[in-house]
Amino acid sequence: MPELPEVEFAATVARRIARGRTITSVRVLHRSQRRSLPARDAKSLVGDRILDVRRRGKSQRFALASGRELHVHFRMTGDWLAPGPGAIPRTVRAIITFDDGTSLALDDPRALSVLTLHNEPAGDDGIGPDALDPALRAVELGGRLATRRIPIKVALLDQRIVAGIGNIYACEALWRARIDPRIPASRVKPTTLPALLRAIRATLNAALKRQQRYYGSSEDWSDASRFAVYDREGEPCRRCRTRIKRITQAARSTYFCPKCQS
């Protein structure tokens, strides 16, 4: 599932193509996307101009000259393509074309992505502060965790607490911070919170830089060897050489070092 780094990079791609451009056509090719962006909404976008593309947690917000916002959430497998000449991939679900002839194509093999048009910018959208927002401080994060008895790994996946973190980078951040993913969120020590916040940001920024570095190359930037613990069950910890353990939390796999994170 795309997490903050992947969505941030996708927003960068969309911004490069779409910012300042006027929409000339919107084609919604799959019925799943038509449920969230019906034909009348898609048609109303024609002639509107995109002022900017911003990321909020795991979603993207296209700010329009009309004052409206187009929200895009990739869900499990969505991404943007910049289609060239020739046939488009069968997994493309929507195409937005602009006045300079360029296009953005929503590619999503599982067709779970959601596009929604809002009459005005979203205010309180129910999610917490962005994980990379410099205004977020450890004391605020601690306040958001203080009443949560669920495991800290599960709490980090709750977008109402902090937005943008998914299963992969929650595992990686907790490893960096040397925090046991099983302890209740409310029991994370106040003295540990700054290290946790630093670990979250370092993990997300490293993933974003890696994706930028390998964009357009033949190397698979998403190769699991880049992870410290995620998907490395039974392999040695890169700090202490203890074998990585996998458990299930909230129906998701959690990977951690039973020695470093004890």
Active site residues: 2-3, 58, 252
All residues at 6 or more sequence positions from 30 whose CB lies less than 8 Å from its CB, including other chains:
93, 94, 111
pTM of the predicted model as reported, rounded to 2 decimal places: 0.88
Read off the tokens for 203.
């993990």
CATH 1.10.8.50 in the chain, residues?
138-256
Is the pLDDT at 9 greater than 60? The verdict is: yes
Q: Please report the pLDDT score of residue 220 as a whole number.
A: 52
Question: Position of tokens 């993913």?
Answer: 181
pLDDT digits (tens, 9 = 90+) for 107-140: 999 999 999 999 888 766 788 999 999 999 999 9
CA 146: distance to chain centroid?
25
pLDDT digits (tens, 9 = 90+) for 28-82: 999 999 999 999 999 999 999 999 999 999 999 999 999 999 999 999 899 999 8
Q: Please report the pLDDT score of residue 214 as a whole number.
A: 59
Q: Please report the pLDDT score of residue 123 as a whole number.
A: 63
Q: Please report the pLDDT score of residue 216 as a whole number.
A: 52
pLDDT digits (tens, 9 = 90+) for 200-255: 999 999 998 887 775 554 455 455 567 999 999 999 999 999 999 999 999 999 99
Is the pLDDT at 84 greater than 60? The verdict is: yes
pLDDT digits (tens, 9 = 90+) for 131-189: 999 999 999 999 999 999 999 999 999 999 999 999 999 999 999 999 999 999 999 99
Handedness of CA 123, 29, 79, 17 (dihedral sign): negative
Q: Please report the pLDDT score of residue 211 as a whole number.
A: 77
Q: Please report the pLDDT score of residue 125 as a whole number.
A: 76
Q: Please report the pLDDT score of residue 121 as a whole number.
A: 80
Q: In CATH, which superfamily holds the domain spanning 4-118?
A: MutM-like, N-terminal (3.20.190.10)
- Burial pattern 159-194, b for ≥16 Cβ within 10 A else e, equals bebbbbbbbbbbbbbbbbbbbbbbbebeebeeebbe
Which of the following CATH numbers is that of domain 138-256: 3.40.1550.10, 3.20.80.10, 1.10.8.50, 3.20.20.60? Answer: 1.10.8.50
Contact 76, 44 (CB under 8 A): no
Question: Position of tokens 């203080």?
Answer: 146
Three-class HEC string of the chain: CCCHHHHHHHHHHHHHHHCCCEEEEEEECCHHHHHHCCHHHHHHCCCCEEEEEEEECCEEEEEECCCCEEEEECCCCCEEECCCCCCCCCCEEEEEEECCCCEEEEECCCCCCEEEEECCCCCCCCCCCECCCCCCCHHHHHHHHCCCCCEHHHHHHCCCCCECCCHHHHHHHHHHHCCCCCCEHHHCCCCCHHHHHHHHHHHHHHHHHHHHHHCCCCCCCCCHHHCCCCCCCCCECCCCCCECEEEEECCEEEEECCCCCC
Q: Please report the pLDDT score of residue 218 as a whole number.
A: 44
Q: Please report the pLDDT score of residue 120 as a whole number.
A: 83
Read off the tokens for 208.
């974003």
CATH 3.20.190.10 in the chain, residues?
4-118
